[in-house]
Chain A
Amino acid sequence: MTKVENGADLLLECRSITKSYSGHVVLDAVDFSVRRGEVHALVGENGAGKSTLIKIVTGATGRDSGEMVYDGTVVPMEHLRRDAEALGIAVIYQELSLIPGMTVAQNIFLGKEPLRPLTRLIDVRKMNDQARELIDRYNFPLKPTDLIDNISIAQRQLVEILKALSGKASIMIMDEPTSSLTKTEVEMLFKIIALLKSEGISVLYISHRMEEVYALSDRVTVLRDGKLVKVLDKEEISPEEIIRLMIGHKLEEKAVQHELTPKGGKVVLEVRGLTSVGKFEDLSFDLHEGEVLGIGGLVGSGRTELVRALYGADSFDAGTIRYLGKEWVPSVRKSIEGGIGFIPEERRLQGILATQSITRNIGIPNLDLIAPRGIVSVKEEDRRAARGIELLNVKPPRPEQLVGNLSGGNQQKVVLAKWLVRDLKLIFIDEPTVGIDIGAKEEIYDHIRALSARGVSVLLVSSDLPELTRLSDRVIVLRQGRFFQEFRECVLTGEKILRAASGIREGDDE
């Protein structure tokens, strides 16, 4: 049971790896090792340092200090992607890295196609044969001549795996491999992982889904805030234990416990059976006047897609929405005119116009008010901008300042200001405080609370658990695009949300 770790049994060994980005320490002297032929899970909350550690192993980024030994070879500090590949480190990317428009075989052998000796032309038949051999060996449901465009996401993932196996992979790194798969597809992936393991290939697995980690892993490494918390052996692994280690003593903080008190009041938004194929399914809920309804769940659980559909930014396939008691088919224009605001997930990409002034940024969604006849009233625009800046305490308070030059917190304040200067009844807020300093965070929380006190309904999506627990009057947790659990009238903790998001149903204890 207590197997002594010796050098020969370790495939990858990292000692006190440290990495910082512009002064901010992301990995702090982390020890990490993977044994030959084991399935090893790497877990931690967002920002715990998982991705950075993987990037260092695969050579996508460098390390500041620390030793790394792979398969008996000391890996130098200058370690590039192709060096890692030559060592046998293969990665299955979260964003699939296949070439659409090409066949399965072409993708597997991209850059290493078999050539005819004389003409140097690609030997298509040989390439397809070799691809078929690989496919047959793992018994995958693929044909070498299938076009990538015509196969499912799960099948594409299989192609990625074959692409890695066609080289000489001794470790296969999978970053959230199941986030876009259906249940049967996940089961197939598990079989494949078992198969890889039986061939002596190590699998390093990153996932947010506890039951997967639980079902698959031989060992689990838990990271928190850039530090190694613990390495769990097979016998020690349980979802509860992993979550406890991931969150740590954050749980004892008073602030994250929050008494939920649902608000009655009239129903502002009524959603029934909302479905968008492949994104979310059969969601129904009510949002009351002045209520802050939190939406919890893992990345990829359909939260962002849901609010985008409700706002009218994306279309949906089935279901009904009623807004203020009336049948409502959302479009962005109708939403704005009807008193609905939207704060998108990606501030830099979707929230701000970086090359425009604060005044312009605040003016854009309010053109109906500042330019009722098509001509912008500069006076009115300035008046509203000044009000927004004052209301939200934007720094520096210079209306002509380009928003791209503001700090993240102040950018987000400008995004909020766009909506606060008009009469709102409802606002969708997606990840309001990502990459924002604590001070600005608290200010934004105050504004969300003030909105709710004014009777504005808020639908809040957040991966920041304390944020979700502190602000919400009620929380719905989504899982894989479906409703999983609702929390109302109870003492809510981040742990409860995370457990639900991970698929652990709360017993009626406590």
Chain B
Amino acid sequence: MSHHAVRRLILVGLMLALSALITVINPVFLSSGNLLKLLQEAAQTGIVAVGFTFVMITAGIDMSIGGVVAVTSMVCINFLHYTKVPIPVLVFLSLFVGALTGLVNGFFITKYKLPEFIVTLATRSILAGLALVIAVKDSLGFVQNVYIQNDSYLWFGTSGLFGIYRTTVAFLILGVGAQIFLKHTRTGTNIYATGANPTAARLTGIDTDRTTIGVYMFSGICASLAAVFISSRMMTAMPELGLGSEMDVIASVVIGGTAFSGGVGDVWGTMLGSLFLALIKNGILKTGISPWIQPIAIGGIIVVTVIVDVWQKKLREHLEARAKLKRLSAERGRDAA
């Protein structure tokens, strides 16, 4: 069994153990209502994290996702407040916001060779400001809380068959589709190659610039999609929606086993990661621990995950070197004999 599989198995085991522990403390955890909520929570972060996974596999990082969520939700609120645009058109426009942001990010990263972190941090700031600028204001100029009353828009955030939230369904479809895309299409292979060894990828004729721009666009689209679901579920949106959620997204992807160094990881892992994170958050609430612990726990989990990964790698290398040395001395012994 590969060490990736072992890692995943440990994660699932840990989740089961945690679930059992939380249930013992508060049996409400196992109620279908809570579990459906938990899944929905995981899906909201998870949808953004799927796009982020693509970026991280190319060894990039997208800090602009929070800004995309904020601006997209403000765009939606504006259209819902002032116009009667059909909902499918509105959703299309929303996704366009994310795609455009990704295009801009990708353009500066590839054409001007600017560091991913700086570029996307800058677009995040610009988008955060833009969200405030376009937010619906009252006569005094204060941001006005607009309640969404359009039923077709609210459809996204509610639950359907068996009480499963549509966000969860969307997350599952997106996740499965993205995983198949990554593992079974040429573009997917190019994404791994670009992250693992860009020089080799270029020598093989892969257009790494196009691949890079593509993943940032996909990341933006995912963030916009999440914005639609979140604002629909909340029936309103604030201009700062999504800002600060970057941490949860990064945590989901890292816990899922995608490496910052690129070339390694997949969507299955990210889906598990976002589920794990939602479980921790839900558990903190259900066991009555102070919710302020949440960010501390998430930061801690990221560090522990990375440390475990580094240790695992070192241990493997150490064992290999030992085996080699043994083989060498055995050979020398044979030579001497």
Contact = CB atoms under 8 A, between A and B. Distances in A.
Q: Is chain B's interface secondary structure helix, strand, loop, or mixed overall?
A: helix
Interface string B160-187: 0000000000000000000010001110
Interface stretch (A9-17, A47-55, A98-106, A333-341): A98-106
Interface in A49-84: 81-82
Given A100-B196, A100-B197, A106 B203 contact: no
B205 A111 contact: yes
A110 B184 contact: no
A107 to B, nearest CB: 9
Contact of A97 (B199, B264, B324): B199
Contacts of B205: 82, 85, 111
B152 interface: no
A326 B267 CA distance: 55
A102 B332 CA distance: 35
Interface residues of A, number: 28
Interface stretch (A116-124, A200-208, A468-476): A116-124
B186 A277 contact: no
Contacts of B206: 110-111
Given A110-B206, A122-B186, A277-B328, A98 B197 contact: yes
Interface of A is mostly: loop
B185 A102 contact: no
A265 B186 CA distance: 67
A318 interface: yes
Contacts of B197: 97-100
**Most A-side CB within 10 Å, residue of B180, B204, B264:** B204
Interface string B301-337: 0000000000000000000010011001000100000
A482 B174 CA distance: 56
Interface residues of B, number: 25
A99 B205 CA distance: 13
B200 A277 contact: no
Nearest to B316: A149
A180 to B, nearest CB: 14
B69 to A, nearest CB: 31
A147 B199 CA distance: 19
Nearest to A116: B184
A318 B201 contact: no
B189 interface: yes
B185 A278 contact: no
Contacts of B328: 275, 277, 281
Given A281-B328, A318-B325, A111 B184 contact: no
A176 B197 CA distance: 21
The 8 lowest CB-CB distance pairs between A and B, nearest first, are A97-B200, A121-B184, A99-B196, A277-B324, A99-B193, A111-B204, A110-B204, A111-B205
9 contacts: A98-B200, A99-B263, A102-B193, A102-B196, A110-B204, A122-B185, A124-B184, A277-B324, A317-B321
Given A120-B185, A122-B186, 11 more contacts: A82-B205, A93-B203, A96-B200, A100-B263, A110-B189, A111-B190, A111-B206, A121-B185, A277-B324, A281-B328, A318-B325
